[in-house]
């Protein structure tokens, strides 16, 4: 799957076939991201609905501990920094600046891995469980789904980092950076949504 991560591979069946394959790779990743966005919209809708209904005050029962905003701000900041480093690498590869591509990808990868570790630790120390009302249940779902995104993306992160360090992305051949970028940017956006939603529509209603 050399070309699936956008490195300089072997010529297989001519330029036309190469372009056609690139289009399929782009479309495949785009479809996955679109499906994931649709599921995320379902989660957001469920959060808003359950908060609005708040049956028998079970959304955020009295005595339930709230989340630590300072921690979530730090986690989101690390994820956003990872996305910005990836943007830098994406711009650099289009500009043909190989050294900056490597730097951007490596920094983005390190921050991604740090984000995985810190999010798992954060979820393991949340001050509530799914039994503590609708907010707790939905927040754990959001956090777990975000960690799933990060873990799934780890194989992309490793692959793209190795290829970047090998110098296999050039101004003319960087399909991997473009297509993985669809996923990378979406994960960052989902992380921002998961951060802002409890702030805009907080857990406590009393």
Instruction: Note the pLDDT of residue 57.
Output: 87
Instruction: Note the pLDDT of residue 56.
Output: 87
Query: CA 161 to CA 182: how far, in whole Å?
Result: 16
Q: Which fold has domain 15-200?
A: 1.20.120
pLDDT mean values, one per 10 residues, the chain (206 residues): 46 50 85 95 96 91 94 98 97 94 97 98 95 95 97 96 94 91 96 96 88
Instruction: Note the pLDDT of residue 23.
Output: 81
Instruction: Note the pLDDT of residue 24.
Output: 85
The CA–CA distances, whole Å, from 108 to 103, 139, 167 equal 8, 26, 16
Instruction: Note the pLDDT of residue 15.
Output: 47
Instruction: Note the pLDDT of residue 16.
Output: 45
203 close to 135: Cβ distance less than 8 angstroms: yes
Instruction: Note the pLDDT of residue 190.
Output: 97
Instruction: Note the pLDDT of residue 60.
Output: 94
The CA–CA distances, whole Å, from 90 to 44, 103, 164, 174 equal 30, 11, 11, 9
Instruction: Note the pLDDT of residue 202.
Output: 94
Q: At what angle do helices 134-165 and 98-124 cross, to 10 degrees?
A: 150
pTM (predicted TM-score): 0.88
List the chain domain ranges: 15-200
- Helix ranges (H only) for 54-97 are 69-95
Instruction: Note the pLDDT of residue 10.
Output: 45
């Amino acid at each position: 799957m050399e070309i699936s991560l956008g490195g300089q591979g072997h010529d297989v069946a001519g330029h036309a076939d190469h372009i056609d394959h690139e289009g399929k790779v782009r479309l495949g990743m785009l479809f996955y991201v679109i499906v994931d966005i649709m599921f995320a919209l379902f989660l957001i809708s469920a959060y808003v609905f359950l908060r609005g209904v708040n049956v028998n005050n079970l959304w955020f029962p009295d005595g339930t501990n709230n989340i630590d905003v300072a921690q979530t701000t730090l986690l989101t900041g690390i994820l956003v920094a990872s996305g910005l480093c990836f943007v830098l690498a994406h711009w650099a590869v289009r500009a043909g600046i190989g050294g900056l591509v490597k730097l951007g990808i490596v920094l983005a990868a390190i921050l991604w891995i740090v984000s995985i570790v810190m999010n798992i630790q954060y979820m393991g120390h949340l001050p509530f469980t799914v039994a503590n009302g609708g907010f707790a249940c939905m927040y754990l779902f959001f956090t777990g789904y975000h960690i799933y995104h990060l873990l799934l993306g780890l194989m992309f992160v490793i692959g793209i980092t190795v290829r970047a360090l090998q110098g296999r992305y050039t101004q003319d051949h960087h399909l991997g950076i473009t297509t993985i970028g669809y996923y990378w940017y979406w994960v960052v956006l989902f992380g921002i949504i998961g951060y802002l939603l409890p702030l805009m529509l907080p857990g406590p209603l009393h």
